[in-house]
Amino acid sequence: GEDVEQSLFLSVREGDSSVINCTYTDSSSTYLYWYKQEPGAGLQLLTYIFSNMDMKQDQRLTVLLNKKDKHLSLRIADTQTGDSAIYFCAESPRVYGGSQGNLIFGKGTKLSVKP
């Protein structure tokens, strides 16, 4: 079945790098996403990666994809207190002949950044 797993908590010091890991199950997923959720708010798209890529970099964010192991990671360089939030990994399995009807989310990793 479809499942996305993440560790639930990560604590880092301000200025350090954060690495949030995710495993997914559906090899048909063509895109994988990282979303950020701050308390009481909706989800903010951070970045996404196409499944034929190994890496994508966007300013302080680096996404690594190991398609063989179905492993995705998000690295945040120079983590700031404003990065404290819950980070969700999501996959987009193909359904119904190719339409992307929904995303499958993990339970989220709560990142705490200590000053």
Site residues (vs another protein, CB under 8 A): 4, 30-31, 33, 35, 40-45, 48, 50, 88, 90, 95-96, 98-108
Of 19 and 95, nearer to another protein (C-beta) is 95
38 contacts: CB under 8 Å, gap ≥ 6: 44, 85, 86
**What's the alpha-carbon Rg for the chain, to the nearest Å?**
14
Of 11 and 100, nearer to another protein (C-beta) is 100
Smallest separation (angstroms) from another protein to the CB of 16:
25
Closest CA to 56 of 43, 70, 73: 73
* φ, ψ of residue 38 in degrees (nearest 5): -95, 160
Smallest separation (angstroms) from another protein to the CB of 2:
10
Of 2 and 78, nearer to another protein (C-beta) is 2
